[in-house]
Amino acid sequence: MSGVDLVAVYGTPALVAHLANAAVLPVRIDGAAFTLFSLAKWPGVRRFPRIALAMAPARRLTVDPALRGWARRTALADALYTVMARAALDAYDQNRSVFDALLDARSRFGRNTRILEDAERQPLTYGRLVLGSVALGHALTRAAGRGGARSWASCCPTPRRLAITIFALQAFGRVPAMLNYSMGPDALVTACRMGRIRTVLTSRRFIALARLEPMAAALAEHTVLACLEDVRKEVGPLDKLWGLAVSWVPTLMRGRTAPAGSPGAVLYTSGSEGTPKGVVLSHANFLANVAQIAAVVDLFPTDRVVNPLPVFHSFGLTAGLFLPLLVGVPTCLYPSPLHYRAVAALVAERKATVLFATDTFLTGYGRAPSEGELASLRYAVAGAEPVRESTRRLYRDRFGVPLLEGYGATETTPVLAVNTPTHGRAGTVGRFLPGIEARLAPVEGFAEGTQLVVRGPNVMLGYYVAERPGVLHPPPGGWYPTGDIVTVDAAGYVRIVGRVKRFAKIGGEMVSLARVEADAAQHWPDDTHAAVGLPDPRKGERVVLVTSRAGAQHDEFVAFARARGIPEPTVPKAVLWVETIPTLGSGKVDYPTVRRMAENALREAGARQAGLKNVPSSKDVILDGG
């Protein structure tokens, strides 16, 4: 939808209310789409569906009195849209567990509705998903005993089994800790210590296929490895009977699951800028973020989602798994976002309408497919890293697919802002979701932008840190400092300038490393770039640009910068060419590894200039510049 569509829907009632000086009473009607008279053709249509009315407090629409004509009508339509989006959030029941929300979705859309599958092509209905989750959860709880550990780590082989494992633990009040197996053995052991995790659910087949024997050996020294091949044998007739009963009568589980405010899962920060931390998210956090996204992004049971993102990443878990399952959208999970041709083919095969990914992966999917393979998409939702203009142009020109760029953090479950079909502006990450309070705190030394601090129903319960295992460190007053430097324009669109930690101080001036990367993306739009700040004896720090551009030359970039009028401090002092920019499992740039590569390359270059012999040379990097 465009701005004209927004005015067409909301413009007239907003104008009438404004001219009459009348308050708007938001009323949300839920359930009418399931009546026999509905034209929506959604699953779950029946004779007597439950119809619910939710009324929010009356509000008056206020706009700048200086606005006239079309500008005023547009502003009024936008004001009414904002009121209705907040009403949709308030009407969503967040006072329940995630598993209770799954049970409600099963009742709403029908137990026989196919809702989840993965690359193994074995679709699960709501009924089968509930049955499998309850049976497995009942067996795990019985084996551990009622006094067993509350937190269990999960590192499972296939997305579908991992989804069942998550719901199985949540169904019986356990807290799944989502281990990112790409973190390395030491980091995984630290992650388990943070949350005092005693049991890790995994699979022998998965360990063998992914060659994770060192990881398994390290974890086995500190935890109990419970392989699903063995656990499935422990699921007895009583467990299956209990699961079957709940799949038919969901109310049997009422009161057995965890309170909404209790931990629903533990995820881990990416570690892209330091030691990972455990992020404790409540059931209410997850449901709030689901409701916030659903209030502004159109998702219908007639859509089809493909999610190749790992669910140990908050974007893949909340937006790619919980959101579609709870709003009735059939979802196909794929185990690796790196299989570009396979994911593109899956989109075509499933006739998917929505794709969740990061810019790096979207670029791969856009270049891999045959003509028309992505033509079924209504839009692709991108997060975790900035969307390059070349990626946006690729999808727009080749497939006619808009990219909805969003922004968030693991600590906010994760989405904070997103461009939507009704509100989109290139170069920004969209507007804040309903329910988000934002404070913009000035940061000394930064000429542009302020640090973003947020509070809302999707902000985490707190951190687990390695220094104090099992102790929750909540954000003071519920306010989470994102560490991001942003600007917010008059229309509410958020632009990310950079991160507090991702600035280099050169001669007393703060230089945004994100700005350096953005400049490089303008010059070499088809390649990937990462900028790091390294110590410099004269100016404190110097910027090194690491790029996948084959044969990248420092002099060439300097000439480009001069032609564009780019300030001299933001021009990198050296350009490092690598075959591939290292990334984490989530698709984010692995900055610690990038920094080590740059340090090693500079050290070798310095040694060679000093005339030292027998200096080892990195075979995968080429350094150009001083």
Give the model confidence (pLDDT) of 456-487 as tens digits.
999 999 999 888 888 889 999 999 998 888 88
Going by C-alpha positions, the residue among 85, 94, 93 that lies closest to residue 436 is 85
Task: Reply yes or no on whether the pLDDT at 67 is more than 50.
Answer: yes
Torsion of the alpha carbons at 283, 284, 286 and 292, rounded to the nearest 10: 170
Cβ-based neighbour number of residue 455 at 10 Å: 17
Give the residue-averaged pLDDT of 480-495. Answer: 88
Residue 185: its pLDDT value, please?
A: 79
Confidence of residue 158 (pLDDT cuts 50, 70, 90): low
Tens of pLDDT, residues 114-154: 999 887 778 899 999 999 888 888 888 776 655 445 677 77
Cβ-based neighbour number of residue 490 at 10 Å: 6
Task: Reply yes or no on whether the pLDDT at 614 is more than 60.
Answer: no
**Most confidently predicted of 207-221, 308-322, 380-394, 572-586:** 308-322
How much of the chain exceeds pLDDT 70, in percent?
88
- Whether residue 399 contacts residue 377, with contact meaning beta carbons closer than 8 Å, is answered with yes
Residue 473's DSSP bridge partners are 463
Residue 103: its pLDDT value, please?
A: 92
d(CA 31, CA 29): 7
- Domains identified in the chain and CATH numbers: 3-91 (no CATH), 98-497 (3.40.50.12780), 507-625 (3.30.300.30)
Give the residue-averaged pLDDT of 16-41. Answer: 83
Read off the tokens for 479. 């306010």
- Crossing angle of helices 340-350 and 359-367, rounded to 10°: 80
d(CA 495, CA 371): 33
Residue 615: its pLDDT value, please?
A: 38
263: cis peptide before it, omega within 30°? Answer: no
Q: Average the pLDDT over each of 48-57, 58-67, 208-217 and give the range with the smallest value.
A: 208-217
User: Measured between alpha carbons, how far is residue 611 from residues 57, 363, 575, 606, 615 in Å?
Assistant: 76, 43, 22, 9, 10
At 139, is the secondary structure helix, strand, or coil? helix
Read off the tokens for 482. 């994102």
Tens of pLDDT, residues 165-192: 899 889 888 889 888 877 777 778 888 8
The residue among 305 and 65 whose pLDDT is bigger is 305
**Most confidently predicted of 2-6, 110-114, 447-451:** 110-114
The residue among 371 and 304 whose pLDDT is bigger is 304
Handedness of CA 3, 4, 10, 16 (dihedral sign): positive
Residue bearing tokens 């493909």:
306
pTM beyond 0.85: no
How much of the chain exceeds pLDDT 90, in percent?
20
Phi, psi of 97 (to 5 degrees): -85, 165
**Most confidently predicted of 43-47, 134-138, 248-252, 509-513:** 134-138
Residue 616: its pLDDT value, please?
A: 40
Residue 332's DSSP bridge partners are 117, 306
User: Measured between alpha carbons, how far is residue 384 from residues 162, 391, 410, 437, 584 in Å?
Assistant: 22, 15, 10, 21, 11
Going by C-alpha positions, the residue among 258, 68, 113 that lies closest to residue 172 is 258
Task: Reply yes or no on whether the pLDDT at 274 is more than 80.
Answer: no
Strands 354-357 and 331-333: unpaired
Strands 431-432 and 415-418: antiparallel
- Whether residue 156 contacts residue 335, with contact meaning beta carbons closer than 8 Å, is answered with no
Residue 335: its pLDDT value, please?
A: 84
Confidence of residue 500 (pLDDT cuts 50, 70, 90): low
Give the residue-averaged pLDDT of 556-565. Answer: 79
Tens of pLDDT, residues 402-427: 899 999 988 999 999 999 988 888 88
Give the residue-averaged pLDDT of 371-380. Answer: 83
Task: Reply yes or no on whether the pLDDT at 623 is more than 50.
Answer: yes
Read off the tokens for 359. 């810019």
Task: Reply yes or no on whether the pLDDT at 516 is more than 90.
Answer: no
By CB neighbour count within 10 A (0-12 exposed, 13-18 middle, 19+ buried), where does 78 fall?
A: buried
Torsion of the alpha carbons at 484, 485, 487 and 488, rounded to the nearest 10: 30
